[in-house]
Chain A
Amino acid sequence: MYEVRFHGRGGQGAVMAAQALASAAHIEGNYGVAFPFFGAERRGAPVLAFTRVDKDRIYTKTQIYEPDYVVILDDRLIELVNVAQGLKEIAVAVVNSQKKPEELDLGIPIKTGVVDATSVALEVLGAPITNSSILGAFAKTTGEVKIESIEGGIRDIFGHRIGEELGEKNAKAARAAYEKTEVGTCRGERKMEVKKQWLPTYKELPLGAATRPMQTDAGLVGPGSFIDNKTGSWRTFKPVYDKDKCNMCRFCWFYCPEGCIYDKKEEMVFDFDYCKGCGICANECPKEAIEMVRD
């Protein structure tokens, strides 16, 4: 039996990747189950999905806590989430990154396969959706499933959900990523910290009282405390601003859903700590002073 944990972002298709892997295992005559982590996920927020594969019927229904393989669909998640949680020395990681395996630090030195799945996906699919490409890298790095079965699994799951033509394209993306995967060993110097929870006593938080903004062990809490939550790592594209074309109409400032474009009287300033790269500013700018480029 082997267990796989997928770290992705809402909208990248971690759940579909987990299903396609289970389907690929099924093609090879194994049993496979895939399931997501349930929570209040938004598009762009960190999410989890799991696959469990065995030669025999699977009776274990729990979430996976000590995976044999960990698949990371976006290398910026390493900064946000403890991706090494429950990993053993013999575990293997598959990461979507532009870096080399030796440059990555997962907190534990393990065998790591790396592919720039975002570029592959943009090339083959025309969208930064990396779930199919990362499965090609999974096949190459772990050798648990053949790439032909992965292609079959993708055709099955993706073809059913989004149409046969797109299923075929995604299978192609998996093959392209399979060819480009580099395997090495990552570093393990980082100390992974588990985020603390804020659990106030009744004295700190009396019944019926509103909280003030407070700095706690778990970070800032209370009104306006989301300012602590840097959403900038969600983006794939970023706006580039041309000051000379700008006429200070403030449309971008008004339309920015994050409120992270500031009016500094002579120019607009973009705060990349919060920008999610949606592209509304570039689309709505009447002077075309904003352009979206790959971050």
Chain B
Amino acid sequence: MKDLPDEELFTAGHTACPGCGCPIMVRAAMKIFGPNTVCYFPANCLLVFGATYPQDAFKVPYLHVLFENSAVCASGIKRGLKKLGKGDVNVVAFAGDGGTADIGIQALSGAAERNEDIIYICYDNEAYMNTGIQRSGSTPHGAWTTTTPVGKKIAGKELYKKDVPRIMIAHDVPYVATASIGHPADMLRKLEKARDLKGFRYLQIFAPCPTGWRFDTAKTVQLAKMAVDCGLWTLYEAEDGKVTINKKPKMTPVKDYVKLQGRFRHMTDEQIDSLQEWANKKWERDSAMVIE
């Protein structure tokens, strides 16, 4: 972290909500990738707060086309640049979890299969926050969103979080990693590694959203750390399918993490137990991916 350049390629003055986790990730990523970068955004918060015509916060070129085709457009940009003899330019797609896990997954899967030479970063805030907090495939069990309201019979989302990084590992791509803004050294190392490799690189970075999760704006980074500690988010990376766990979770009770957030306020002990059970299972599953 000491060696990161001071120059900002993602400037101040963007209109993100106070305490947003996404710009923390984007600032760091842009510092790692440097000015020799072209970005692609599908519809997401980052596009709305960071790049609204005619003003924007990025000092590098970027493109916005549609929600579902981030991986397609990024592939096209890279191939175009290669034809122009600029193959050394980093092409980065920044998509939200909705644009990755639900709407963009067919384009993502296609680009991964073709092993396009791009970096795909999914910043995971566990719902469609830009359009006003709707549930996505990445929303955890029990969370309130506007489309999983708290009723008398059903309270919050019934289903569990979709594990997109494992889907990506199954595509046999050169690099897949999960990171969190709460663990900067780990995140920066993974971003650097992604920059230096060739082929399709997928990163999923956990970035809490104070507006959608209903917590105090100061606790963004604290919650990102807690999610890793309680096992709801595991930090691992897979190079050519070989999985390494970067941080073993302390398996602190999920309850501590849950009670800080308004989106889980309604949760009964039963629901918390089932989320805890899911966290335990997730760790078993993730640790089983490591082949000795």
Contact = CB atoms under 8 A, between A and B. Distances in A.
A88 to B, nearest CB: 32
A231 B12 CA distance: 8
Interface in A43-63: 43-45
B211 interface: yes
A263 B6 contact: yes
B218 A283 contact: yes
Given A225-B54, A255-B24, A280 B12 contact: no
A226 B58 CA distance: 8
Given A223-B59, A258-B23, A280-B221, A229 B15 contact: yes
Interface string B255-273: 0000000000000000000
A231 B13 contact: yes
A210 interface: yes
Interface of B: 1-2, 4, 6, 8, 10-24, 27-28, 48-50, 52, 54-61, 181, 184, 210-211, 216-222
Contact of A226 (B1, B2, B12, B21): B12
A258 B220 contact: no
A258 to B, nearest CB: 5
A283 B56 contact: no
A7 to B, nearest CB: 17
Given A226-B55, A257-B24, A283 B12 contact: no
Given A223-B60, A255-B184, A258-B13, 14 more contacts: A11-B211, A42-B15, A43-B17, A211-B54, A225-B55, A226-B55, A226-B56, A255-B221, A257-B22, A257-B24, A257-B220, A278-B210, A280-B217, A284-B221
Contacts of A230: 13
Contacts of A280: 19, 217-218, 220-221
B61 A250 contact: no
A29 interface: no
Contacts of B2: 250
B59 to A, nearest CB: 4
Given A255-B24, A257-B20, A257-B24, A229 B218 contact: no
A221 interface: yes
A277 B20 CA distance: 12
B199 to A, nearest CB: 27
14 contacts: A198-B54, A226-B12, A226-B50, A226-B56, A227-B11, A229-B14, A231-B13, A250-B1, A254-B184, A257-B22, A274-B12, A278-B218, A279-B19, A279-B216
Contacts of B27: 257, 259
A260 B18 CA distance: 13
Nearest to B8: A259
B18 A227 contact: no
Interface in A252-295: 254-260, 262-263, 271, 273-274, 276-280, 282-284, 292
B55 A254 contact: no
A231 B55 contact: no
B218 A260 contact: no
Interface string A169-188: 00000000000000000000
A214 to B, nearest CB: 9
Contact of B13 (A40, A42, A227, A279): A227
B34 to A, nearest CB: 15
B248 to A, nearest CB: 22
A27 interface: no
B57 A224 contact: yes
A222 interface: yes
